[in-house]
A and B are shown apart, each in its own frame.
Chain A
């Protein structure tokens, strides 16, 4: 059983269909890259799977013991976030919000785990720094550490290297690749970088002008 399955999904706004007949299966440890032109529905697909938008029709099935609050998400940054006064620690900890339950505050285990995730992302020395003073690459690492606090099972990344310079981009890809290889975290990533997609991904989801094609790159 796959972690996540989309059946005959149709995406769109109001009455405009963006993409239809989307059938995707995502299993443990797989690495899916979503590629395609702007405006073809890549981000909409991601938001629909995450439950931020309703699909026009079709079904999304969570399987293999994956529950709704075990999904990590690295969204595209908004303008409001760029100058948000928050420390790295505060942001990374907020990854646990879906697992707070009825408790008002984070537990000390969660604080330890957050620190461990900062360590893994190489940002633990930045933990008291303000998010808005960091470089683009550092900010992405913070958001990735936050996503890791939400889950180890499945990460959704929406253009994680947008606006990063070439060296930082390579580092970011390697970091994501390591999570996929070493921790068997399933990755679903939107990217414009087809070369990187072919290099790292196990599966490719191509948004073309009137269809969505899935392709298996390696097993």
Chain B
């Protein structure tokens, strides 16, 4: 069992997958805390569908580098969804549902009509649920991910106090002269970038798990913002690592295994939280 793991770890692409997995786990947990508390959990889901749609468009257009199109498209969608959720005629959750299904439908439609691939179902399935085996990443993918992760963590630390304040009470922030919209915009852009990167690892339908489970689990046990944030990051990293290892050992699909680990972890934390409050 462990021999298999050790054999696998000798391949650079497996090591890359572990590095990228940890980086994504950290970033998605940090953003997840904000999104869950802002009641925007579904934004991750909506954006990943937009990214799926964008990938289809990029594939049909035969772009050499999909990212050049997918990234800006998803960032734009994120800005649209997060910005002025209150001022628009169509409200937050409905807007997300609308954008999300439209992107999914158009993406699938385009792939079906125009794709030259011989294994269309397989392609779509792996975009939605992540690849069935461990993904193959190049050194370039790892570097892109590393840069995005460093930026995310740096932004989170530098703006930690402001992010907390704006998340807790946007009106108070605005009243005391803080440009809350700027932080919302910043958060939207980072979320979009992380989601596009995370999609390769775990698939677009399963991304929300990386966003919501760490934050929700941490909130079962901890009662202040800092502790929740730190715990969510640790929880997320442990689950992703566990998921990756199990998926290698048992040859299961990576994305689904990671999400199952997240669910198991959440249930465990929920139980611990219940015992603590009762005891």
> Chain A: residues with CB nearer than 8 A to chain B?
47, 50-52, 68-69, 71-73, 75, 78, 80-81, 84-87, 90-91, 93-95, 97-100, 104-106, 128-130, 132-133, 146-147, 150, 156
Asked if residues A84 and B37 are in contact (CB atoms below 8 Å), the reply is yes
Residues on B with C-beta less than 8 A from A73 are: 171-172, 175-176
The complex places the Cα of A84 from the Cα of B158 at a distance, in Å, of: 22
The complex places the Cα of A84 from the Cα of B37 at a distance, in Å, of: 7
Q: Name the distance in Å between B46's Cβ and chain A's nearest Cβ.
A: 19
Q: In this assembly, does B159 line the interface, its C-beta being within 8 Å of a C-beta of chain A?
A: yes
Q: In this assembly, does B22 line the interface, its C-beta being within 8 Å of a C-beta of chain A?
A: no
Q: How many residues on B have C-beta within 8 angstroms of the other chain's C-beta atoms?
A: 29
Given contacts A73-B171, A75-B171, A86-B164, contact A132 B223 (CB under 8 A): yes
Residues on A with C-beta less than 8 A from B165 are: 94, 97
The complex places the Cα of A95 from the Cα of B165 at a distance, in Å, of: 8
Residues on B with C-beta less than 8 A from A133 are: 223
Q: Which 10 A-B pairs have the closest CB atoms?
A: A98-B176, A130-B223, A69-B177, A87-B224, A94-B165, A50-B175, A73-B175, A98-B177, A97-B165, A68-B177
> Chain B: residues with CB nearer than 8 A to chain A?
37-39, 157-162, 164-165, 168-169, 171-178, 219, 222-228
Residues on A with C-beta less than 8 A from B224 are: 85-87, 90, 128, 130
Residues on B with C-beta less than 8 A from A99 are: 176
Asked if residues B174 and A104 are in contact (CB atoms below 8 Å), the reply is no
The complex places the Cα of A91 from the Cα of B223 at a distance, in Å, of: 13
Residues on A with C-beta less than 8 A from B159 are: 104
Residues on A with C-beta less than 8 A from B158 are: 104
Residues on B with C-beta less than 8 A from A51 are: 174-175
Residues on A with C-beta less than 8 A from B227 are: 85
Most chain B beta-carbon neighbours within 10 Å: one of A129, A132, A133, A146 = A146
Given contacts A98-B177, A150-B176, contact A104 B161 (CB under 8 A): yes
Residues on B with C-beta less than 8 A from A85 are: 37, 219, 222-225, 227-228
Q: Name the distance in Å between A157's Cβ and chain B's nearest Cβ.
A: 12
Residues on B with C-beta less than 8 A from A75 are: 169, 171-172, 175
Can you list 13 A-B pairs with a CB-CB distance of less than 8 A? A50-B174, A51-B175, A72-B176, A75-B175, A81-B168, A85-B37, A95-B176, A97-B161, A98-B177, A106-B161, A129-B223, A147-B172, A150-B176
Most chain B beta-carbon neighbours within 10 Å: one of A47, A86, A146 = A86
Asked if residues B172 and A146 are in contact (CB atoms below 8 Å), the reply is yes
Residues on B with C-beta less than 8 A from A91 are: 168
The complex places the Cα of A106 from the Cα of B162 at a distance, in Å, of: 10
Q: Name the distance in Å between A127's Cβ and chain B's nearest Cβ.
A: 11
Residues on A with C-beta less than 8 A from B226 are: 90
Closest to B160 in A: A104
Closest to A83 in B: B219
Residues on B with C-beta less than 8 A from A69 are: 176-177
The complex places the Cα of A100 from the Cα of B222 at a distance, in Å, of: 27
Closest to A91 in B: B168
Given contacts A97-B161, A130-B224, contact A52 B171 (CB under 8 A): yes
Asked if residues A52 and B160 are in contact (CB atoms below 8 Å), the reply is no
Most chain A beta-carbon neighbours within 10 Å: one of B159, B169, B227, B228 = B169
Q: Name the distance in Å between A150's Cβ and chain B's nearest Cβ.
A: 5
Asked if residues A97 and B173 are in contact (CB atoms below 8 Å), the reply is yes
Q: Name the distance in Å between B274's Cβ and chain A's nearest Cβ.
A: 15
Most chain A beta-carbon neighbours within 10 Å: one of B38, B162, B171, B227 = B171
Residues on A with C-beta less than 8 A from B168 are: 81, 84, 86, 91, 94
Q: Name the distance in Å between B219's Cβ and chain A's nearest Cβ.
A: 5
The complex places the Cα of A80 from the Cα of B37 at a distance, in Å, of: 7
Residues on A with C-beta less than 8 A from B219 are: 85
